[in-house]
A and B are shown apart, each in its own frame.
Chain A
Amino acid sequence: MTEQSASGAVLVVGGGISGLTAALEAAEVGNDVFLIEKNPYLGGRVAQLNQYFPKLCPPSCGLEINFKRLNDNRGIRVYTMTSVKSVSGSAGSYEVTCETAPRYVNSNCTCCGDCEEVCAEERDDDFNLGMGKTKAIYRPHEMSYPMKYVLDKDVCSADTLDKIKAACKYDAIDTDMETKTFTLNVGAVVWATGWNPYDPTKMDNLKYNESDAIITNMQMERLAASNGPTNGKILRPGDDKEPESFGFVQCAGSRDENHLEYCSYICCMATMKQITYIRERYPEAPIYVFYIDIRTPGKYEKFREKLMADPNTHFIKGKVADIIPETEGVTVVAENAVTGMKVQQKVDLCILATGMEPAIKSQAAGLGLDVDSNGFVVSDADKGMISAGCAKKAADVVTSAQSATAAALKAIQAAK
């Protein structure tokens, strides 16, 4: 199947905050836009956050406005569960082959949830970063857009599939759906492929796999989110205990030649934001933040000053280089570079401030993209290959939205 399009069409790869912004900006000035997204929902990493900067809003706030703009615009076609397989052509006329994985649920779905009740099998909840399970037929999260269920057919028995089909009053289940390949003819491509949290198991000294009391900062977002696995209570995974003390391990994998050699930009502010989550729930609990340098890019100095004034929040200059799992919690070990003494701090919950790895890193070369040594996509505006958001560099939401608008402008010019 080939989707033809008038010249000047723009393909936006990635439906997170950057891709949504770029697609809307390009479409709202009259260009045809294709927006493809690998996940079954739009919103990307922002959708997984509890709150986000600059105003500490819940993600529903910003995403909802964008979804409304999307609904109102006839120039954008959205494909979820879709990824780019190959790109050929040159500036102004690219032929992009895409592949859509079967959702097994068609547009009749009303999200009534009857299918979920009859489904016996479960799958790991990747939206909640592996904390908890969902049914094999599931809605990715409660405000997922498009509002449709997804079926993980591989984990279901034939019996379950029959039950699910029978339970659906709207004839929305289609277990015969197949992978669909199609090509798009576009003038320019915006790569807004975003980021993945750096794999914490790669830091063998931080023992992520050896204790339930060690989580990542993205898991912390899910624990704090009211639609998360604990309904917004911050509890220790494994035993669901209320932690009495917290330790943040900054630069877990970032600014490190053995892992990510760059500063991931967001982790210091993410930690400070998460300190506010903890303080809302545990006003007095001691919090220890181990850092190399605290960086507050943007306009957040006052925010930092306020947090550092808290007598129960301790900032220790020294990177955590060893974590010892205990029966209850963990002991984090660092050298306090100010006092010159080693610190062995026992905490109930330890949060690794892991950084951002460009999600397209491993596929970029195959797609003919120009990437830097860290896997970030380097824009080539003349060729109409433009990167935006965290595909371009590690960035926060504000910076990503700015770079997405800039990318849209370049794409419009290149696609003409």
Chain B
Amino acid sequence: MKVNPDLDFIRYMKSAGGDTLKKCYQCATCSVVCPLSTDDKPFPRKEMIWAQWGLKDKLLADPDIFLCHQCGDCSAYCPRGAKPGDVLGAIRAYAYTHYGFPSGLAKMVSSSKNLPLTIGLPALIVLVMWFISGGMRIPTAEAMSQYGFGHFFGHWDWRWLAKNVAFIDLIMVPAFGLAVYAAYRGVSTMWKAMMTQYNVSTVYRPSVNQFIEQFLWPSIKEIIVHTRFNKCGVNVNRVIGHLPLMLAFIALLFVTAYSAFVQDVLGIFYPSLHGPMSMMNPVKMLANVAAIAMIFGVGVLWSNRSAAEAEEGTSATYYDWFLIYEIMAVAVTGLGAELGRLVGVPVLAYFLYYLHLVSVLMLFLYMPYTKFAHLVYRTFAMAFEKYRESEFVGK
């Protein structure tokens, strides 16, 4: 076999928390102690040698890097301190940047050097839109208690679409659209690479329905009940954090969809539905519970990660911490803005609401390039593993 090591890749690995990988001497302890590693295709020993050799194309087409939930057993038992768990994390970070589109944006988000730009760009977009909207003024406490943040971007009397909604849509829909497109593009490139690497030839193509029913939905079910997470025995603490966090995201997705439907569709016919929801509304209660669950969940993950770094020597990486800070920012600014509104301090409420919009925009816009991307790449890697074993594939 001709080996063409990619020095840039190795340098990247060193910078992204995978600096220990050269210590690996291929004893394969990791593949045995890993509770998720399979008999016919164990990991992460093979990933370690591919990474040492700089065989990034093999790694980028390897579903196993996404199947790892980084419980850290491999790193704990590693006789050399090579920390395979951290190395796989670094490979995943590399993969998200590699598959990211547009690549400039993906690269920007991947490096802490660009943090001012990473925050500045969405902050500027929201600020400019706020300015253009003409709504950039602090309301009176009475106005805020009546409209909530409904007049943040101002107000017009066109009944079919509220000005506020129009501006939020103008900001979020393109960002969300770009993220969805980038994720689709990344996942399909990854899928093709995996098909080639594992020499998978499709005998007949599954329909979209079949694909969802047989591969995607079972994977999503596993994710929701945390099957694989729970297999990592030492991961109980992380499940305590990750599960409420994930459920909070699902709940808030529902709340957003519900409120958009009620306010912006039904609201056209029943203007009384505009304005902030009552605190006693079950949906609002769900939203508040979700916000608290989000802070709790990300807080647990935060403290777990700090503990792992202090006690087990897990590498502290920008890739891991960026997402934790980002989600914490979304939750804290959102809940803070709500509290500011309830206690009637418009300046504080509006300022926090602005920050909330910025952090939500960051979450959407950067989803395919940050650790948040695991929600699509891991799901599809799990689906690929099912597909690879299925009857659609020539054996």
Contacts and interface: CB of A to CB of B under 8 A. Distances in A.
A292 interface: yes
Interface string A329-342: 00001111100111
Interface stretch (B40-48, B129-137, B205-213, B246-254): B40-48
B80 A341 contact: no
B26 interface: yes
B25 interface: yes
B25 A292 contact: yes
Nearest to A253: B79
B37 interface: yes
Interface stretch (B28-36, B115-123, B224-232, B368-376): B28-36
A334 B28 contact: yes
Contact of A205 (B33, B37, B41, B46): B33
Interface in A228-264: 251, 255-259
Given A205-B77, A321-B77, A335-B45, A341 B40 contact: yes
Interface string A118-133: 0000000000000000
A276 B229 CA distance: 46
B142 interface: no
Nearest to B25: A292
Interface string B91-106: 0000000000000000
B343 interface: no
Nearest to B32: A321
B33 A321 contact: yes
A319 B79 CA distance: 10
B382 to A, nearest CB: 20
A258 B32 contact: no
B39 A342 contact: yes
B58 to A, nearest CB: 12
B139 interface: no
A199 interface: no
A321 B77 CA distance: 9
A200 interface: no
How large, as a class, is the contact surface on chain B? 20 to 34
Contacts, number: 66
A18 to B, nearest CB: 28
Given A256-B79, A257-B79, A337-B26, A322 B39 contact: no
A345 interface: no
A257 B29 contact: no
Given A321-B33, A322-B33, A335 B42 contact: yes
Contacts of A251: 27, 79
Contacts of B41: 340
Contacts of B26: 292, 337
Contacts of B39: 341-342, 344
Contact of A322 (B32, B46, B80): B32
Contact of B81 (A257, A293, A318): A257
Contacts of A318: 27-28, 32
Contacts of A334: 28, 32
Given A255-B79, A257-B80, A257-B81, A321 B45 contact: no
A258 B79 contact: yes
B65 to A, nearest CB: 15
A47 to B, nearest CB: 31
Given A342-B39, A342-B42, A344-B39, A335 B31 contact: yes
A319 B40 contact: no
Given A335-B28, A335-B45, 6 more contacts: A319-B79, A322-B33, A334-B28, A337-B27, A342-B38, A342-B40
5 contacts: A205-B77, A257-B79, A258-B79, A341-B42, A342-B40
Interface of A: 205, 251, 255-259, 292-293, 318-322, 333-337, 340-342, 344
Give me the 9 closest cross-chain CB pairs, A-B, nearest first: A256-B79, A321-B32, A335-B28, A319-B27, A335-B31, A321-B29, A342-B39, A292-B27, A318-B28
Interface of B: 25-33, 37-42, 45-46, 77-81
